[in-house]
Amino acid sequence: MEYRIEHDSLGEVRVPADRLWGAQTQRSFENFPIGGDRMPRELIRAFAQLKKAAALVNCDLGRLDERRAQLISQVCDEILAGEHDGEFPLSVWQTGSGTQTNMNLNEVIANRGNAIAGEALLHPNDTVNMSQSSNDTFPTAMHIAALTAVHRSLIPAADEMIAELSRLERENTDVIKIGRTHLQDATPLRFSQEISGWRGMLESTRDALARSSDALALLALGGTAVGTGLNAPQGFADRAAEKLAALTSLPFRSDPNKFRALTSRDALVVSHGAIKAMAGCMMKIANDIRWLASGPRCGIGEIRIPENEPGSSIMPGKINPTQCESVTMVAVQVMANDAAIGFAASQGNFELNVFMPVIIFNYLHSARLLSDSIRSFTLRCLSGLTADRERMRENLDRSLMLVTCLNPRIGYENAARAARLAYTEGLTLREAVLRLRLLTEAEFDELVDPAKMV
């Protein structure tokens, strides 16, 4: 491999000749050979948007000439298009401020811009990092990446699933089935009502996510090193936030308290809490569906789900609820990520939190996993879900909890006697009530009508 010599404040560094990064990126690459986790692509793209906005604002404020600003903007557009993905190799497990990733962007933009210009017009620190610090750019990029993931990926995925559940509701309004509490038979309900519970859970957590993510729109950019804004010109913070809002079509604005913005990661904690809540809802929905689809002959078997692949290497014909299992595993991972984010966010010492890479790594991991799993579950499970109406009717007719509707007529204790007799002697509820002479046949038939109980 051929190398070129780059330098930084510590001296000379050998960098692969075919790479756009510089000395500080190379040092980090060599000093943190830890695991295989790289800075998320979403974060790199967020940084590119930030660097472009900063350059354009510095130009507007007279600190940067138009040619250099346009060079930076051009390279950032290339990064956003995915043209230089291989130039961002750094590990998540680096400095807790993400300084080396900020410098990775600065060096790649400077070197690529200079190659385009044919002369050394851009400097990583003096030009690309103008009016900025790693301490305000990294939390800003975190918020850009997180809010983008929420609005462009997770909420749309939830909306697609909500629409599919609404369709299932409409198709099953006439289906009455037995309800279940404590995994035991309960009183009847419409299948559409059960589905409406799933839909309502997802709508509630989607709305909570939208509300909680509002704080992600507040940006630290302009606070520079410790929140005082040293080396950033007057008006830079507000104008950079406005520029980012225009570039992304998201409601970014400058955080009025830069000291909090640099050291506190509370917005990400709260927002991820809503993601965790959505994962919890998905866990419940997926578990309900796989229980209801259990069987096909020796389980509940009240619904049928798509047969996507063989379920066993030894049992021919076995089909498993794999989409449900995938969703529940994702939910477990999101809950684990939430624990890591909470611990890391509690470590804001003095003017800076130095656990930022692990926070955004886990946040984006959760958002990506959950949005992908919701879309897969909607497409490969819900879209083909059907009710086994005959099985539902059979289970409904055999249930002893229909006796509940007799409480007002014969009293709780007599109703309990009838249910117990039916259970212990294998009778139908009707047979037990008639044997105890609690009602006549006509009275029983009039009172015990599942359609009146829903």
What average pLDDT does the segment 204-216 reach?
A: 96
Decide if pLDDT at 130 tops 90. Answer: yes
pLDDT tens string 290-309: 999 999 899 999 999 999 98
CATH superfamily label, 3-130: Fumarase/aspartase (N-terminal domain) (1.10.275.10)
Other CB atoms within 10 A of residue 89 CB: 15
Q: Tell me, which fold does domain 143-178+189-216+262-388 have in CATH?
A: Fumarase C; Chain A, domain 2 (1.20.200)
Cβ-in-10-Å burial (0-12, 13-18, 19+) of 125 comes to middle
264 given a catalytic annotation: no
Instruction: Kindly report the average pLDDT of the chain as a whole number.
Output: 97
Catalytic residue among 7, 249, 312, 346: 312
Distance between CA 437 and CA 244 in Å, rounded? 77
Distance between CA 167 and CA 284 in Å, rounded? 20
Decide if pLDDT at 219 tops 90. Answer: yes
pLDDT tens string 381-429: 999 999 999 999 999 999 999 999 999 999 999 999 999 999 999 999 9
The pTM for the full model equals 0.96
Sole residue written with tokens 């991972």 = 333
Decide if pLDDT at 223 tops 90. Answer: yes
Largest CA distance in the chain: 101
Strand partners, 12: 7
Q: Is 399 helix (H, G, I), strand (E, B) or coil?
A: coil
Q: Tell me, which fold does domain 400-453 have in CATH?
A: Ribonucleotide Reductase Protein R1; domain 1 (1.10.40)
pLDDT the model gives residue 309: 86
Contacts of 19 (CB under 8 A, 6+ apart): 87
Q: Which of 178, 216, 212, 173 is nearest to 195 (CA)?
A: 173
pLDDT the model gives residue 348: 85
pLDDT tens string 312-347: 888 888 889 999 999 999 999 999 999 999 999 999
DSSP one-letter code for 153: I
pLDDT the model gives residue 317: 86
313 given a catalytic annotation: no
Distance between CA 256 and CA 258 in Å, rounded? 6
pLDDT tens string 18-68: 999 999 999 999 999 999 999 999 999 999 999 999 999 999 999 999 999
pLDDT tens string 226-283: 999 999 999 999 999 999 999 999 999 999 999 999 999 999 999 999 999 999 999 9
For the chain, residues classed under CATH 1.10.40.30 are: 400-453
Catalytic residue among 182, 204, 365, 366: 182
For the chain, residues classed under CATH 1.20.200.10 are: 143-178+189-216+262-388
Within 13 Å of residue 45, how many CA atoms lie on the same side as its CB?
Answer: 16
Distance between CA 96 and CA 38 in Å, rounded? 14
Decide if pLDDT at 154 tops 90. Answer: yes
Contacts of 187 (CB under 8 A, 6+ apart): 178, 179, 401, 402, 404, 405, 453
pLDDT band at 184 (very low <50, low <70, confident <90, very high): very high
Listed range (102-116, 133-147, 308-322, 411-425) with the worst mean pLDDT: 308-322
Distance between CA 404 and CA 407 in Å, rounded? 6
